Amino acid sequence: MNSLFGLSHNATLLVWTLLVIVFLVTLIAKYKWNPFVTLLLSALALGLLAGMEYQKLIKSITGGLGGTLGTIAIVIGLGTMLGKMMAESGGAERIATTLVDRFGEKRVHWAMMLVGFVVGIPVFFEVGLILLIPVVFMVARKTKMSLLQIGIPVLAGLSTVHGLVPPHPAPMIAIDAYGANLGKTILYALIVGLPTAVIAGPLFGKFIGKRIQVQPPTELAEQFATKSVKTLPNFGITLVTILMPVILMLIGSIADILDPEAVHVFTPFAKFIGHEVIALLISAVFSFFSLGFARGFKKEDISRFTSECLAPTASIILIIGGGGAFKQVLIDSGVGGAIASLATQTHVNLIFFGWLVAALIRVATGSATVAMTTAAGIVAPVLAVSSGAPIELVVLATGAGSLILSHVNDAGFWMIKEFFGMSVVQTLKSWTVMETLLSVVGLIFILILSVFI
């Protein structure tokens, strides 16, 4: 299996890899196979075609899966609990209404982008969408503005954070695979993400909102208009709760930068609380009190909230684990080294390379998570033997690539279509274009930032 039609060993490995990726993409995109099962089958196929020993292949798959989920599974679980507390307490609505009041009706679409950006930090895109759809409907009805002019900025904020800003699983996967600095990644993500969200959100939203007039389904609007809480929590405590994990991680990174030798006694403690697992654990527990007990919920309520919210995360956790297994086989089979050799010989721009790999997989599979996990396995070996591009910017480029061109093979596409009461064509013209703008504009800002770093 080490040679194919007289090709060199590296070339043969690359051909097998291409065939396996086509196999993976076809099963997911065309035949709708479960991504987790498909990723495991693809990992097995690649290892066997590359000539790996059976026991080594099994060890590679299990080690890659377990190693990937060691941190990511905890991050997902704790982040989901934090998001659930926001939903049940009314914290997300409190943030939205406060920002809208302060920005005013004429600038409300700018406020909604910030709402999506802030609320999206601790929660998945889908969860953030569910949380904020009632606010979108309420604001559109109150201001008489186009539903898309209000909704697109929220979607842009949520999607930008989902693809670029830790502690979301997608950027965390790349941070772990590339060995990037968490604090620097967060800083650069904010520098790149905010202007990107502005262009794809308020600016594009105003443009498309004038051209596509839609109304949400009546039953859906009435359902979301029902409030689950009589009074909303305080804005300040809600904001502190949501931003706490990011603040703690930034404290740890800043302490590490200012005192790399850990001379000061505070530095080890700051790095400890700044670890993503500890930061999210502290924040989740804090939310039980700030958005739970303080809001009148009983211990039985909080126990039920934190149990109910975990079931929907099982699928994404398994997909991430499968991606980790596939990534490890790419490395252990020698494919990573072959790709690294080819990339270094062609002097490819590593930032663009990370973006392109993720973008191609995203378009084919419709999953940002599959795109990110698979791209991380392909790009990581290239980074390991290359220099010249800040690793943190390659993380962001991979994340930006994973957002591009959401279309009919993406579950999020249909979710947006139904919530906003649009046709397929209208969804392509609004949501798909917005996602592509996020991806391309994000890449441009990343390349500009690379000039100064």
Nearest to 96 by CA among 60, 56, 64, 143: 143
Q: Which band of pLDDT confidence, cut at 50, 70 and 90, is reported for residue 7?
A: low
Burial tier of 21 (Cβ tally within 10 Å: 0-12, 13-18, 19+) = buried
pLDDT of residue 3: 56
Lowest pLDDT segment from 1-5, 20-24, 104-108, 420-424: 1-5
Greater model confidence, 390 or 393: 393
Q: Is the pLDDT of residue 274 over 50?
A: yes
pLDDT value at residue 167: 72
Q: What is the pLDDT of residues 49-83, one digit of tens each?
A: 999 999 999 999 999 899 878 877 888 788 878 87
- The whole-number pLDDT of residue 224 equals 47
**What is the Cβ-side half-sphere exposure of residue 276, based on CA atoms within 13 angstroms?**
27
Residue keyed to tokens 């996602």: 435
Task: For residues 30-46, give the mean pLDDT.
Answer: 88
Tokens of 441: 């504009």
Whole-number Å distance between alpha carbons of 360 and 348: 16
C-alpha to C-alpha distance for 434 and 427, rounded to whole angstroms: 10
Secondary structure (DSSP) of 315-361? HHHHHHHHHHHHHHHHHHTTHHHHHHHHHHHHT--HHHHHHHHHHHH
At 218, is the pLDDT very low, low, confident or very high (cuts 50, 70, 90)? low
pLDDT computed for residue 226 by the predictor: 44
Place of tokens 């962001």: 396
User: What is the pLDDT at residue 228?
Assistant: 56
Residues 349-372 pLDDT 10s? 889 988 988 888 887 767 787 788
* pLDDT class of 192 with cuts at 50, 70, 90: very high
Instruction: With a cut of 60, say whether residue 227 has pLDDT above it.
Output: no
Q: pLDDT digits over 105-163, tens only?
A: 778 888 889 888 887 776 667 767 776 776 787 777 777 788 899 999 999 999 999 88
